Amino acid sequence: MGIRYRSERVSQIVLLGTGNPNADPERSGPSVAIVVNETPYIVDFGPGVVRRAAAAHQAGVAGLEVRRLNRAFLTHLHSDHTVGYADLILTPWVLEREEPLEVYGPPGIRAMTEHLLAAYREDIRERLEGPEPINHTGYLVKAFEIEPGVVYQDRNVKVEAFAVKHGSWPAFGFKFYAPDRTIVISGDTAPAESCVEAYRGCDVLIHEVYSSAGFEGRSPVWQRYHSSVHTSSIELAEMASKARPGLLVLYHQLFNGVSEQELLIEVQERYEGKVVSGRDLEVY
C-alpha cells in the first residue's frame, strides 16, 4: 500500500487516483481521500473512484468502506476529475449508504448534479419501486457551490478553498486542517504567488506536475495549453522552495514520454525538500 507514517496519526492521505485524461491503466482518475478518525473526505472523483476506495478499504483503510463515502470536494469541472461522480452518487447507495452525499465545488456543480440524477432517473425509480431492498435517502445529493474561504468544518477537519489558475472558469485547491497536520491539494493549476501563500508551511502538499523535459517534445499548441493552465516540474520546484511543505507529493503527473524517475529528478534537482512521486493506493 505504499508509504505509511507512524500509526498514532489520526489522519490518513490515500491517493485513490493519480492519473489525468490519458487512459493509463495503472492510474485511475484524479482523486484523493483524506481520512480523519475513520471519516472520509474525497477530493475529486475521476474514473474508478469507488473501486479504488474499495481497494484501499480492503487493504486496511477502515474509513474508506464504500457506504461511508458521503462527503466530497471538487476542484473544477473537467471530465477527468468528474467522470466518477455518478459512481460516487449511486454505488455507495446501492451498497447501503443512507446519508445523502454532500458535495462542495465550483459553480456548475449543482447543474451537473441535477443532470446526472435526471440521467439515472429510471435506475433510481426501479430501485426505489421494485423489489430491491434499498433505502430512500442514500442517492440524494446536497450540492454546494463555493467561493474562496472556509467551505466546510466539522469535529475532524476545517476545509478552506483557495482560487487557482486553470482556464477561464472558477477552479480551486483545498487546504485541510486536521488535528495532526495540514494537508493541501492543488487541483489543476498554473503557478501563482497566491498558491505559494496557500501552500506555505503545510505538512503535506499534493501537487499536479508536468515534465519540463517532456514538454519540449510536445507540439506548439499543446505547449501553449499546458504552460497556461498546468505547472511544470521547474515551476513546482520553485514554488515548493518558497512554500517549504513538510512533504511534497506529485500527482496528476504528465510524463510526456519521460519516466516517472526522470520526472522526479527534475523536481529534486531544483528543490531540496522531501518529494515523492505518488501512485494509486499509496497511503501517507
205-251 pLDDT, tens per residue?
Answer: 999 999 999 888 889 998 898 888 899 999 999 999 999 999 999 99
d(CA 114, CA 264): 41
- On whether the CB atoms of residues 54 and 95 are closer than 8 A, the answer is no
Structural domain includes residue 5: no
Structural domain includes residue 4: no
- 45: its cell numbers: 472523483
Structural domain includes residue 283: no
* Integer CA distances (angstroms), 265 to 9, 183, 259, 273, in order: 29, 23, 10, 12
DSSP 210-238: E-HHHHTTS-HHHHHHHHHHS-BHHHHHH
**Is residue 8 very low, low, confident or very high in pLDDT (cuts 50, 70, 90)?**
low
Structural domain includes residue 184: yes
pLDDT of residue 215: 85
Q: What is the mean pLDDT of the chain?
A: 95
Structural domain includes residue 273: yes
In this prediction the pTM is 0.95
> What is the Rg, in whole angstroms, of the alpha carbon atoms belonging to the chain?
18
Q: Based on the structure, what is the number of domains in the chain?
A: 1
* For residues 30-52, average pLDDT: 98
Exposed, middle or buried by CB within 10 Å (0-12, 13-18, 19+), for 203?
middle
* For residues 39-61, average pLDDT: 98
Structural domain includes residue 66: yes
Structural domain includes residue 232: yes
**Is residue 30 very low, low, confident or very high in pLDDT (cuts 50, 70, 90)?**
very high
183-218 pLDDT, tens per residue?
Answer: 999 999 999 999 999 999 999 999 999 999 988 888
- CATH code of the domain in which 139 resides: 3.60.15.10
- On whether the CB atoms of residues 264 and 253 are closer than 8 A, the answer is no
Domain of 16 in residue numbering reads as 11-277
100-147 pLDDT, tens per residue?
Answer: 999 999 999 999 999 999 999 999 999 999 999 999 999 999 999 999
